[in-house]
Amino acid sequence: MKFPGMDIYRSIVITGGSGMLAQALAEQLRGRGIEPVLLAHAQLDITQAPAVRAVFEQYRPTLLLNCAAHTGVDQCEQEPERANAINGDAVRLLADTARDFGTRLVHFSTDFVFDGQSHQPYRPEDAPNPLSAYGKSKRLGEVELAAHAPPGWMILRTSWLFGRPGNCFPQTIVNLARKGTPLTVVNDQLGCPTYALDLAAATFDLLDVGAQGIQHVTNEGQTTWFDFAQAILKAFDLTAEITPVTTAQWTQMRPHQARRPAYSVLDTRFFFQATGNALRHWSAALRDYRTLSWAS
Q: So what's the pLDDT on residue 5?
A: 39
User: For this structure, is 122 an active site residue?
Assistant: no
For residue 255, what pLDDT is reported? 85
* pLDDT at residue 256, rounded to an integer: 86
What average pLDDT does the segment 37-59 reach?
96
Which helix (DSSP H) or strand (DSSP E) does residue 185 occupy? Answer: strand 183-186
Mean of the per-residue pLDDT values of the chain = 93
Q: 92: number of CA atoms within 13 Å, CB side?
A: 10
- pTM score of the predicted model: 0.94
Q: Parse the chain into domains and list their residue ranges.
A: 12-166+193-220+266-280
Active-site position among 9, 59, 134, 289: 134
CATH of range 12-166+193-220+266-280; options 3.40.50.300, 3.30.70.260, 3.40.50.150, 3.40.50.720: 3.40.50.720
What gap in Å lies between CA 230 and CA 219, rounded to an integer? 18
Could you tell me where the beta strands, DSSP code E, fall in the chain? Answer: 12-15, 37-39, 63-66, 104-110, 154-158, 161-162, 183-186, 190-191, 194-195, 213-216, 223-224, 242-245
Q: How does residue 1 score in pLDDT terms, banded at 50, 70 and 90?
A: very low
What distances in angstroms separate CA 7 from CA 2, 10, 67, 102, 242, one per listed residue?
11, 6, 21, 12, 51
At 194 the three-state DSSP class reads strand
Instruction: Determine the distance from the C-alpha atom of residue 7 to the mean position of all C-alpha atoms in its chain, rounded to a whole number.
Output: 25
pLDDT digits (tens, 9 = 90+) for 156-212: 999 999 999 878 999 999 999 999 999 999 999 999 999 999 999 999 999 999 999
Q: What is the pLDDT of residues 261-295, one digit of tens each?
A: 999 999 999 999 999 988 999 999 999 999 874 54
7-16: per-residue pLDDT in tens?
A: 899 999 999 9
pLDDT at 125 over 80: yes
pLDDT for residue 294:
53
For the chain, what percent of residues have pLDDT higher than 90? 90
For residue 97, is pLDDT > 50?
yes
- Closest listed residue to residue 10, CA positions, set 57, 58, 62, 60: 62
Range 132-160 average pLDDT: 96
- Using CA of residue 123, residue 126, residue 132, residue 135, what is the dihedral sign? positive
Separation in Å, CA 156 to CA 34, 45, 252, 255: 21, 21, 33, 31
Q: What is the pLDDT of residues 223-263, one digit of tens each?
A: 999 999 999 999 999 999 999 999 999 999 888 889 999 99
Q: Indicate whether 3 pLDDT > 70.
A: no
